[in-house]
A and B are shown apart, each in its own frame.
Chain A
């Protein structure tokens, strides 16, 4: 090689020639590649281990009860007869209540932030809403227990009974805790996700769509409701799925306000139990392998449901994104 100064020793490490240097250099890149690859693979390992543990440890229960586990009402640790139905019911009901409250409110707020608010206000408020999402679950539970529960007992409950008492969902004794209270708390907890994702999705709707509607004489609301939101509906649906997945797995806040009683009741005032709550309460005290196995099976159910929901949500959010880019 035509050599420059002798100032650089990069041509070779002290003792050996260019060949050794090449080898070392290649190894440097190789080493980095391998190390990072191993860490990436370890994530696959951890996740596989998680699924494996769930599967193995629920084996006793799955073997004994089979699919009937999902629709059996009884939960009897003494006679070792376990059924998931009360918990599945409780999880679903509270989540539906949560969505019924959170989706309209959340979507409305997201629309305001994406369509109407000036950009700076929108960004600042979005920031505050992200903070709401960062509030720990126990804090929501704390507020639920000491504020919402008494309010439900003294004000909200009687009010609803008075106005809508003819509906079965608002009948029955009201203790303050129960499906409705849990649903309300959950609604507050998942709203930030709906708002955050929906707002971003709405912001990706091409300006030309809005302008086309307005140019045809639509009011701002009409343009938003009839053109912008439908365009983004897949992504919005995705955000709802995301919120639902969150609500299903939520543990602490729900445990603190749902009443922790495995009841299946049409009344929203009734105390109930969710999958995550029963695991939280009974896992430590589970005596006997079958008992433990049943609880793990509940965890498996929860895992699978959230897995599917999250997967669907990702697909939907990506679809809207691509639609926006294509035009």
Chain B
């Protein structure tokens, strides 16, 4: 091979490798850019009244997102009640009892559900929870989010249950534990860390969703008592304020966005770090 060709190959090598490094750097910097921008644009608006007041009427300056925060919490609670038990128990089924054809179908369907665009889930929730009663509600929004929570929870539950070594199960069975007892008293506790992490991550994911709430929870400038009235939520508020024509609402959109992002990131970072540190072997 000629000397020139060799130099060319070596230069190309260094060039391309550097390029890949630059790309990685670029991608990571986007994350920090996002965070930075939100902090800069929204940080100054964060004060006590922002968290505790209701939105002011259109055009007026000031007000807060108290109802959006409460709304988000209520929606998350519903999503947890609807989605977590199903995801957990179905995950137990797939990991511990599942037979070939049925188990495979369930897993495949779950992956399918996971991939459905969130706005389509919103349409489904609309058909099921809004149409029959002819009004938007917190419940409908919670239902939509709950449906989204199911596949995420199921996947992580199944994965962490399968990771529990067979020797642990055999140890319990050799002592006379029946299958369900083994699962309840040995296998589930052993997988506890991963399963809880999966649940928290699922909730963090749906906490940021807007699309499925557009025609289920719908949004509300006021408090939403109970479960059968439309309600605001943080992501909905960010959206509504951002697309509005009022600069003050834009300011609040940044602040609300910062709060939302902070919560989501803290949940993600916190749970993943806890998972890496503790692992499945800690437990009582």
Which residues of A are in contact with B by a Cβ distance under 8 Å? Answer: 10, 25, 28-29, 31-33, 35-37, 39-44, 46-47, 49-50, 53-54, 57, 105-106, 108-109, 111-113, 115-117, 125, 127-132, 134-143, 145-147, 188, 191-192, 195, 219-222, 225, 245, 248-252, 256, 276, 279-280, 283-284, 296, 299, 302-303, 306-307, 310-311, 314
Report whether A138 and B208 are in contact in the complex, using a CB–CB cutoff of 8 Å: yes
From B16-24, B44-52, B163-171, the one touching the partner chain is: B16-24
Docked CA distance A112–B97 (Å): 41
Q: Closest Cβ of chain A: how far from B53's Cβ, in Å?
A: 21
In the assembled complex, B253 has its CB within 8 A of some CB on chain A:
yes
Q: A58: nearest residue on chain B (CB-CB)?
A: B123
**Residues of B with C-beta under 8 A to A256:** 239, 242-243
**Residues of B with C-beta under 8 A to A136:** 207-210, 235, 260-261, 264
Q: Closest Cβ of chain B: how far from A69's Cβ, in Å?
A: 17
Most buried by A among B9, B121, B211, B218: B211
In the assembled complex, B80 has its CB within 8 A of some CB on chain A:
no
**Residues of A with C-beta under 8 A to B23:** 105-106, 108-109, 112
Report whether B97 and A303 are in contact in the complex, using a CB–CB cutoff of 8 Å: no
Report whether B27 and A106 are in contact in the complex, using a CB–CB cutoff of 8 Å: yes
Q: B124: nearest residue on chain A (CB-CB)?
A: A50
Knowing A43-B113, A47-B109, A245-B115 are in contact, say whether A142-B257 is a contact too (CB < 8 A): yes
Which residues of B are in contact with A by a Cβ distance under 8 Å? Answer: 9-10, 12-13, 16-17, 19-24, 26-28, 30-31, 34, 37-38, 41, 85-86, 89-90, 92-94, 96-98, 102-103, 105-106, 109-113, 115-121, 123-124, 126-128, 147, 150-151, 154, 176, 178-181, 183-184, 204-205, 207-211, 214-215, 218, 235, 238-239, 242-243, 250, 253-254, 257, 260-261, 264-265, 268-269, 272
Q: B117: nearest residue on chain A (CB-CB)?
A: A249
A109, A145, A220: the one within 8 Å of B24 (CB): A109
Docked CA distance A29–B154 (Å): 21
Knowing A131-B268, A134-B264 are in contact, say whether A142-B178 is a contact too (CB < 8 A): no
Report whether B97 and A139 are in contact in the complex, using a CB–CB cutoff of 8 Å: no
Q: A311: nearest residue on chain B (CB-CB)?
A: B112
Docked CA distance A44–B124 (Å): 15
**Residues of A with C-beta under 8 A to B85:** 39
Report whether B93 and A138 are in contact in the complex, using a CB–CB cutoff of 8 Å: no
Report whether B105 and A127 are in contact in the complex, using a CB–CB cutoff of 8 Å: no
B98, B112, B151: the one within 8 Å of A307 (CB): B112
Q: Closest Cβ of chain A: how far from B180's Cβ, in Å?
A: 4
Docked CA distance A10–B59 (Å): 73
**Residues of B with C-beta under 8 A to A307:** 112, 115-116
Report whether B123 and A191 are in contact in the complex, using a CB–CB cutoff of 8 Å: no
Report whether B116 and A128 are in contact in the complex, using a CB–CB cutoff of 8 Å: no
B16, B34, B150, B183: the one within 8 Å of A43 (CB): B150
Report whether B92 and A191 are in contact in the complex, using a CB–CB cutoff of 8 Å: no
**New A-B contacts (15) at CB < 8 Å, excluding given A225-B16, A306-B116:** A32-B184, A36-B96, A40-B89, A131-B268, A134-B264, A134-B268, A136-B208, A136-B260, A137-B209, A137-B211, A138-B238, A221-B13, A248-B117, A249-B117, A306-B115
Q: Closest Cβ of chain A: how far from B231's Cβ, in Å?
A: 15
- Rank and list the top 3 A-B pairs by shortest CB-CB distance, nearest first: A249-B117, A136-B208, A36-B93
Report whether A137 and B208 are in contact in the complex, using a CB–CB cutoff of 8 Å: yes
Docked CA distance A54–B10 (Å): 57
Docked CA distance A283–B216 (Å): 11
Knowing A249-B118, A280-B211 are in contact, say whether A44-B238 is a contact too (CB < 8 A): no
Q: Closest Cβ of chain B: how far from A315's Cβ, in Å?
A: 11
Report whether A42 and B86 are in contact in the complex, using a CB–CB cutoff of 8 Å: yes
A28, A57, A221, A276: the one within 8 Å of B127 (CB): A57
Q: Closest Cβ of chain A: how far from B229's Cβ, in Å?
A: 16
Report whether B97 and A33 are in contact in the complex, using a CB–CB cutoff of 8 Å: yes
Report whether A125 and B24 are in contact in the complex, using a CB–CB cutoff of 8 Å: yes
Docked CA distance A10–B92 (Å): 27
Knowing A108-B24, A248-B117 are in contact, say whether A138-B17 is a contact too (CB < 8 A): no
Q: Could you show 15 A-B contacts with beta carbons less than 8 Å apart?
A: A25-B178, A29-B179, A31-B180, A35-B89, A39-B89, A42-B90, A105-B26, A109-B27, A112-B23, A125-B24, A139-B34, A147-B37, A220-B17, A251-B118, A276-B117
Docked CA distance A10–B175 (Å): 13
Most buried by A among B180, B181, B243: B180
Report whether A29 and B180 are in contact in the complex, using a CB–CB cutoff of 8 Å: yes
Most buried by A among B10, B37, B90: B90
